[in-house]
Each structure stands twice: as structure tokens, then as C-alpha cells.
Amino acid sequence: MKKKKLDILYEDKDIIVVSKSVHLLTISTLKEKENTLYYQVSTYLKKQNKNNKVFIVHRLDKDTSGIVVFAKNIKAKNILQDNWANVKREYIALVRGNMPSKGIIKSYLKETTTNYVYSSKTGKEAITEYEKIRNNKLYSLLKINIKTGRKHQIRVQLNDLGYPIVGDRIYNKKDKEKRLCLHAYYIAFNHPITNKLIEITTPPPDFVNLVK
């Protein structure tokens, strides 16, 4: 399998921001060590200098595409993670059905030992803000701003409302689409060392074309 070229969105001596393709792990698992975004970034940096290091700041689900931030040193990593609640992250999602124009979803999420996430009366609070961009007879295209970073929170909450994300085979098993139509397209944060505001946007994913 031919490996895709690393899509670098921003880079300096402290951080590197890249775009993750769909179906790619952010970090390794017990079963997969090399076919990951982390491995790609590490390989890229070590080609420049074998002593270069890379540190995980956050991650995206394997089936979600979009922006991922890595740190090049432990100081940058710690500062970013300590201030992650202040980072603004926005997603584009394509859901089935005609959603209301905008809203805020609040729920509590729990996770099973098999990594399945579900809503409960107790658990970790998850807050998702959404706004409908446009819709047709089948789908709604949403802009989503997550206030909390819970695992699968967007997927679970939208499915609970009856508007599953197109391609979500975990929470809507009948779905036959080849990809999960969820993309992290925007991020804004203060640089961990210079404190300069960093804003990064990616081009819209292909699935937006399903809603003309």
C-alpha cells in the first residue's frame, strides 16, 4: 500500500499541525504500530534530524479526518495540554435527516470495556454546539463546536437525537457509506511558547458535496 504524503498545515520549532486522512489511526495500538499519523510525523521529523522527537497532544478517532496538533518538545506538549480547554475546535458533519437550525446538546457519557460509548444519567459531561449550514431531503450539513472533548461525543449525541452521522457504522449499524462524514476543519489556540494566536483551517471535505 502506497503511503500518502504528510499533509502539513503549520510547522515551527515547537509544534507541527497536520491533517489526518480518514481510516488512519492517530497513535499506535497493540495490533498496529506503523500505519499511524504519529509514525508518519515522527518519520518526517527524524529525516531532518535523527534526534528529533514528537509528542502527542490530542487525537482524532480513526474514522474522523482533519486537524491534529503535535508538539516537538515536552514543554510545548505540557502547556498545550494544560490549556486544552481553551482551544477552539470546530468540525463539519453530515447527518441523516433535517436537523433544527442550531442548538446545544448536553448529556453524560459512559464507555464500556469494548470502547462503546453511550449516554447515561451519570458519567462524563459532554457539551456540543451545532449550527446547520444547509440541508436537502436526505441530509443536513452541520458546523459543530465541541465544548468538551469526550470520546465519540459528537457521534453518540447526534445519533441519540435521531440524526446519525453519515457513515457511522458503530452507532448506526445499518449505514453502508464507506467513510464517517465527520471532519475537524478548524482549530484556534495560543502558541505554547510565543503565546501568539494560531488559527488553522482545512479545505472542506468531499462529503459536503452531498448537500447542494
What is the structure's pLDDT at 178?
A: 87
Specify whether domain 7-210 bears CATH 3.30.2350.10: yes
Strand partners, 11: 16
Per DSSP, the three-state class of 129 is strand
- The pLDDT assigned to 72 comes to 98
* Residue pair 187/89 in contact by the 8 Å Cβ criterion: yes
> pLDDT by residue (tens digit) across 23-45?
999 988 767 667 899 999 999 99
Sign of the CA dihedral running 39, 62, 127, 137: positive
Contact 189, 198 (CB under 8 A): yes
Residue spans of the domains in the chain: they are 7-210
How many Cα atoms are found within 13 Å in the side-chain-facing hemisphere of 30?
0
> Average pLDDT over the chain, rounded to whole?
93
**CA-wise closest residue to 130 among 141, 143, 139:** 143
pLDDT at site 1: 41
Give the Cβ contact number of residue 160 at 10 Å. 14
State the cell numbers at 208: 459536503
What CA–CA distances, in Å, run from 100 to 21, 150, 200?
29, 23, 28
> Tens digits of per-residue pLDDT, 96-121?
999 999 999 999 999 999 989 999 99
- Where does the pLDDT of residue 191 fall: very low under 50, low under 70, confident under 90, or very high at 90 and above? very high
The C-alpha atoms of residue 37 and residue 29 are separated, in whole angstroms, by 12
Say whether 156 sits in a helix, a strand or coil: helix
Least confident of 17-26, 27-36, 74-83: 27-36
**pLDDT on residue 175:** 86
Q: What is the pLDDT of residues 143-189, one digit of tens each?
A: 999 998 899 999 999 999 999 999 999 999 888 888 999 999 999 99
Mind telling me the catalytic residues? 61
Whole-number Cα distances in Å, 1 to 4, 6, 7, 158: 9, 15, 18, 34
Cell of 47: 529525516
117 neighbors 109 (Cβ within 8 angstroms):
yes
Residue position matching grid coordinates 453524560? 108
Percentage of the chain exceeding pLDDT 70: 96
The tens digit of pLDDT for each residue in 119-150 reads 999 999 999 999 999 999 999 999 999 998 89
Query: Do residues 42 and 51 make contact, with C-beta atoms less than 8 angstroms apart?
Result: no
CA–chain centroid gap for 30, Å, is: 21
